[in-house]
Amino acid sequence: MKLNLLSKNFQNKLSTTISVIGLGYVGLPLAISAAQSGYEVYGIDVDRVKVELIKSGKSPIEDISDLEIQNTISGKLQVVSDFSPVEGSSIVIVCVPTPLNIERKPDLSLIDAAVKSFAKHLTKSTLVILESTVQPGTTRDYLVSLISKYSALTPSDFNVAYSPERIDPANKEWNLKNTPKIVAGLNPIATKQARDFYSKFVDNIVECESPEVAELAKLLENTFRYVNISFINELSIFCRSFGVDINQVVAAASTKPYGFMPFYPSIGVGGHCIPVDPLYLSDKARTMGVQTKFIDLADEINTQMPNFFVKVASQRIGGLRGKKVLVIGVSYKPNIADVRESPVEALISELKQKGAQVLWHDDLVKEWNGKKSVALSNQYDLAIIATPHDYLDLTKLGDVPILNTRGSI
Ligand SMILES: NC(=O)c1ccc[n+]([C@@H]2O[C@H](COP(=O)([O-])OP(=O)(O)OC[C@H]3O[C@@H](n4cnc5c(N)ncnc54)[C@H](O)[C@@H]3O)[C@@H](O)[C@H]2O)c1
């Protein structure tokens, strides 16, 4: 009876207007897809520079073209910095970052800030969907109490669901539309509302029994990658000593048609998700007195990878002091400009500590930590390929010795 009433109230709202909070790698594609599917979308971001950039028809991310932005902002997407459009929205989707703090512990302060900003505009029967990656229990406990704290509403006045984003920047095959989307509401109506919303622009919606299952599914996906990439990196260290190319080993193992999934060597895992999300899980486990040894070990191996390559570099050119080293590719993965949690930062800093003069080249990133990308040339004692973007023309290095962190020996 109570559920039916809530459902009826919800339908009475202007159900075609929604607000997306946070216009980054997750929120912007979502806002555009929702707008293209017919929703009136308000994209809300506190970064005024980004808002102005989008309004001027320029895309801040690689996966969205300027043309796509221009077509959408001249139609159903409005990009703003103030939160008042939440008042007329039937759905509010939260897509703000969930990083680690200085102690490498979960930092939910941006969710807090976002909720604080929009909750006062929230009206009865609105569905709030959290997309940011969080610890299990966050939607039910933390989010609901935050909304209650900052709004004039009680928990029975609004609906809440969790739907983790699975976007993989620069992935040409899998996108928001064709990647199955997990949804889980705090009650069946919230789940249905979330399903109805996403099914307008996502092919396959997967309902979970509870937000906790959905929250943990997201952490499992990313922890699975973290553990396996770290394992391959550990194996790649062995292969270098043994004199075998790890990529040939992975290629050979990949011919097994079942029970094996390839992971590839690198200078370490970066980005806002894979090296961060597993620590959300291990932190939660620690508070419950449960061990997560795989995650701890993966984290240890991952953070040691830049140091390993500094040692290889030093051996390769007989010490680093006074040597001129070019680091190629500084983003955390090929063909994108995202430098968050990039292991290349640790590589450069350790090379410098060993006395090398370090410059970097990355035409996608262009400017980073106050320094500019330099041209590829033959003026170096060593070039280290950290992140191999497709556009790179290594012939410009001439005879410079190359250390490839992606696995050649
Ligand atoms: N990047 C990915 O590939 C990816 C994939 C899946 C899930 N996620 C998760 O999605 C969430 C968002 O990640 P992202 O990569 O889109 O981050 P992002 O940094 O690209 O974008 C977040 C946006 O939120 C804005 N923002 C910050 N605080 C705000 C506030 N208080 N109010 C309004 N806007 C605010 C920022 O200005 C920024 O534009 C994270 O929890 C992340 O773990 C990311």
In whole angstroms, what is the distance from residue 329 CA to residue 103 CA?
Answer: 27
User: What would the pLDDT profile of 327-381 be if each residue is shown by its tens digit?
Assistant: 999 999 999 999 999 999 999 999 999 999 999 999 999 999 999 999 999 999 9
Task: Tell me if 43 CB under 6 Å of ligand 1.
Answer: no
For residues 74 and 128, which has the higher predicted lDDT (pLDDT)?
A: 128
Q: How far is the CA of 391 from the centre of ligand 1 (A)?
A: 27
Query: Ligand 1 atom closest to Cα of 134?
Result: 41
Q: How far is the CA of 322 from the centre of ligand 1 (A)?
A: 40
Q: Are 329 and 403 in contact (CB under 8 A)?
A: no
Task: Tell me if 60 CB under 6 Å of ligand 1.
Answer: no
Task: Tell me if 122 CB under 6 Å of ligand 1.
Answer: no
* Residue whose CA is at the smallest distance from ligand 1 atom 24: 22
Letter for the amino acid at 11? Q
Beta bridge partners of 113: none
Given pLDDT bands bounded at 50, 70 and 90, which one contains residue 409?
A: low
Q: Output Rg (C-alpha) for the chain, integer angstroms.
A: 23
What mean pLDDT comes out for the span 276-280? Answer: 96
Query: Ligand 1 atom closest to Cα of 118?
Result: 32
For 383, list phi and psi in degrees, rounded to 5: -115, 130
Distances from the Cα of 56 to the Cα of 37, 46, 70, 284, angstroms? 22, 17, 8, 42
Given pLDDT bands bounded at 50, 70 and 90, which one contains residue 101?
A: very high
* Residue whose CA is at the smallest distance from ligand 1 atom 7: 165
Q: Greatest CA span in the chain, whole angstroms?
A: 77
Asked if the model's pLDDT at residue 2 lies above 60, the reply is no
Task: Tell me if 108 CB under 6 Å of ligand 1.
Answer: no
Catalytic residue check, 239: no
Stated as kind and residue range, the H or E segment containing 3 is helix 2-12
Q: How far is the CA of 338 from the centre of ligand 1 (A)?
A: 12
* Residue whose CA is at the smallest distance from ligand 1 atom 1: 25
The pair of three-digit structure tokens given for residue 225, joined into one six-digit string: 């990658």
Asked if the model's pLDDT at residue 15 lies above 80, the reply is no
User: What would the pLDDT profile of 308-321 be if each residue is shown by its tens digit?
Assistant: 999 999 999 999 99
Task: Tell me if 50 CB under 6 Å of ligand 1.
Answer: yes
Candidates 95, 208, 239, 273; catalytic one: 273
Say what percent of the chain tops pLDDT 90: 93
* Residue whose CA is at the smallest distance from ligand 1 atom 13: 97
**Of 17, 235, 43, nearest in space to 126 by CA:** 17
User: What would the pLDDT profile of 63-89 be if each residue is shown by its tens digit?
Assistant: 899 999 999 998 899 999 999 999 999
Task: Tell me if 48 CB under 6 Å of ligand 1.
Answer: no
**Of 405, 396, 402, nearest in space to 376 by CA:** 396
Q: Are 176 and 204 in contact (CB under 8 A)?
A: no
Q: How far is the CA of 121 from the centre of ligand 1 (A)?
A: 21
Tracing tokens 């996403």 back to the chain, one arrives at 198
Distances from the Cα of 312 to the Cα of 274, 297, 402, angstroms? 25, 22, 11
Residue 352 CB contacts under 8 Å (≥ 6 apart), including other chains: 358
Say what percent of the chain tops pLDDT 70: 96
Question: For residues 273-302, b (16+ Cβ closer than 10 Å) or e, as one string?
Answer: bbbbbbbbbbbbbeeeeeebebbeebbebb
Stated as kind and residue range, the H or E segment containing 9 is helix 2-12
Query: What pLDDT was estimated at residue 3?
Result: 47
* Residue whose CA is at the smallest distance from ligand 1 atom 15: 25
Q: How far is the CA of 24 from the centre of ligand 1 (A)?
A: 5
Mean pLDDT, the chain, whole residue set: 94
Asked if the model's pLDDT at residue 48 lies above 90, the reply is yes
- Nearest-5° Cα angle at 174, 305 to 73: 110
Given pLDDT bands bounded at 50, 70 and 90, which one contains residue 62?
A: confident
Given pLDDT bands bounded at 50, 70 and 90, which one contains residue 174?
A: very high
Task: Tell me if 79 CB under 6 Å of ligand 1.
Answer: no
Q: How far is the CA of 111 from the centre of ligand 1 (A)?
A: 10
Task: Tell me if 95 CB under 6 Å of ligand 1.
Answer: yes
Task: Tell me if 185 CB under 6 Å of ligand 1.
Answer: no
Q: In three state form, how does the secondary structure of 261-324 look?
A: CCCCCCCCCCCCCCCCHHHHHHHHHHHCCCCCHHHHHHHHHHHHHHHHHHHHHHHHCCCCCCCE
